[in-house]
């Protein structure tokens, strides 16, 4: 009577052991695949896009170079107050607000909306002759974690047709000269005034000479006269960093 019981127990033990062997073999087959997947992920990670996160002013054990927004970076800002060359004066303060994020390394960036403060370093009103010119200097940028020094200059004034076209030289914002239409109208008025005396004296030659001289003088005066620069609140300026901007508070 006891032999069948022992046989059954031995058979059950054998089945359990076989199940353990099969399970272990299955795990052994899966482990290399998992290890291979981990290696593949590790190999791909250098090319993956870094996770973006705003700068908070801390180093977090990273080298300083990681926090640098490199020189040559261009970005748009918007004026927070009006600037007119007829009214503004040297050393007058102004500020702008960034319209685009400034990106450093490792996905670190400064969100748009940071305020940059500066001053008018030089101004030349148009007056009756010449062109209005404006030099703007940017001093510091205000972030959520403090103030940072910034060195940048204006490279263009997008969308403003009163500004001289083409890239700005040495950061100088320069107004346009009078248009050809204005010059032609001035020349016509000058010719009419110059011819008046000759017409009164009934001297056609003198009238023609007077008209020519009057037209020339009026044309030259109009061509030389420029327009005042008027940059209203909200006007866009494109800035370019001349030195690296480090998004860290030491």
In CATH, what number is assigned to the domain containing residue 114?
2.40.128.260
Per-residue pLDDT of the chain (250 residues; tens, 9 = 90+): 444 545 444 444 444 444 543 454 445 444 444 444 443 343 344 555 678 999 999 999 999 999 999 999 999 999 999 999 999 999 999 999 999 999 999 999 999 999 999 999 999 998 755 789 999 999 999 999 999 999 999 999 988 766 766 667 667 898 876 554 544 554 565 556 655 555 555 666 666 666 666 655 544 444 445 688 899 999 999 999 999 999 999 7
- In angstroms, rounded to a whole number, what is the distance separating the alpha carbons of residues 222 and 241? 37
Chain-centroid distance of CA 26 in Å reads 58
Contact 155, 237 (CB under 8 A): no
User: Do residue 69 and residue 147 come from a single domain?
Assistant: yes
Residue 32 lies in a domain: no
Residues 153 and 188 in one domain: no
Within a 10 A sphere around the Cβ of 205, how many other Cβ atoms? 8
Residue 89 sits in the same domain as residue 207: no
Note whether residue 76 is domain-resident: yes
Q: Rounded to 5 degrees, what are φ and ψ at 193?
A: -70, -40
Residue 4 lies in a domain: no
Buried b / exposed e over 5-25, threshold 16 CB at 10 Å, is eeeeeeeeeeeeeeeeeeeee
- With CA atoms as reference, report the closest residue to 173 among 184, 160, 185: 160
In angstroms, the CA 220 to CA 106 distance is 58
Classify residue 111: in a domain, yes or no: yes
> What residues contact residue 16 under an 8 Å CB cut-off, 6+ apart?
none
Cβ pair 88, 60 in contact under 8 A: no
Task: Give the structural domain span for 210.
Answer: 180-224
Residues 218 and 239 in one domain: no
- 205 and 100 part of one domain: no
The verdict on 88 and 106 lying in the same domain is yes
- Closest to 114 measured CA to CA, from 21, 239, 243, 250: 239
Is residue 205 included in any domain, yes or no?
A: yes
Beta bridge pairs of residue 246: 68
CA atoms within 13 A on the CB side of 202: 0
Q: Are residues 145 and 64 in the same domain?
A: yes
The answer to whether 87 and 123 are in contact (CB under 8 A) is no
Residue 11 lies in a domain: no
CA distance 235 to 157: 8
Regarding whether 217 and 146 lie in a shared domain, the answer is: no
> Does residue 142 sit in the same domain as residue 184?
no
Do 111 and 220 lie in one domain? The reply is: no
115 shares its domain with 239:
yes
Assess if residue 114 is contained within a domain: yes
Instruction: Residue count of the chain, please give it.
Output: 250
Domain membership of residue 105 (yes or no) is yes
Q: Which residues pair with 141 in a beta bridge?
A: 116, 148
- Tally of structural domains, the chain: 2
- Whether 98 and 83 map to the same domain: the answer is yes
Strands 68-69 and 245-246: antiparallel
């Amino acid at each position: 009577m006891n032999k069948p019981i022992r046989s059954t127990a031995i058979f059950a033990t054998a089945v359990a052991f076989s199940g353990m062997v099969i399970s272990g073999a299955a795990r052994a087959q899966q482990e290399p695949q998992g290890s291979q997947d981990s290696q593949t992920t590790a190999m791909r990670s250098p090319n993956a896009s870094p996770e973006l996160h705003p700068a908070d002013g801390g180093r977090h054990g990273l080298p300083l170079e990681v926090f640098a927004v490199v020189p040559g970076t261009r970005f748009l800002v918007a004026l927070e107050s009006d600037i007119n060359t007829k009214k503004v004066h040297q050393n007058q303060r102004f500020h702008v607000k960034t319209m685009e994020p400034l990106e450093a390394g490792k996905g670190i960036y400064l969100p748009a909306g940071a305020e940059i403060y500066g001053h008018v370093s030089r101004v030349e009103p148009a007056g009756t002759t010449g062109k209005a010119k404006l030099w703007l200097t940017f001093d510091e940028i205000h972030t959520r974690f403090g103030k940072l020094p910034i060195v940048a200059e204006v490279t263009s004034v997008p969308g403003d047709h009163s500004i001289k076209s083409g890239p700005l030289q040495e950061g100088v914002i320069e107004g346009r000269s009078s248009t050809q239409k204005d010059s032609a109208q001035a020349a016509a008025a000058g010719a009419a005034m110059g011819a008046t005396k000759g017409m009164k004296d009934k001297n056609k030659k003198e009238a023609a000479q007077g008209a020519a001289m009057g037209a020339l003088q009026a044309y030259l005066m109009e061509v030389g006269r420029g327009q005042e620069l008027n940059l209203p609140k909200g006007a866009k300026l494109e800035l370019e960093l001349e030195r690296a901007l480090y998004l860290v508070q030491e």
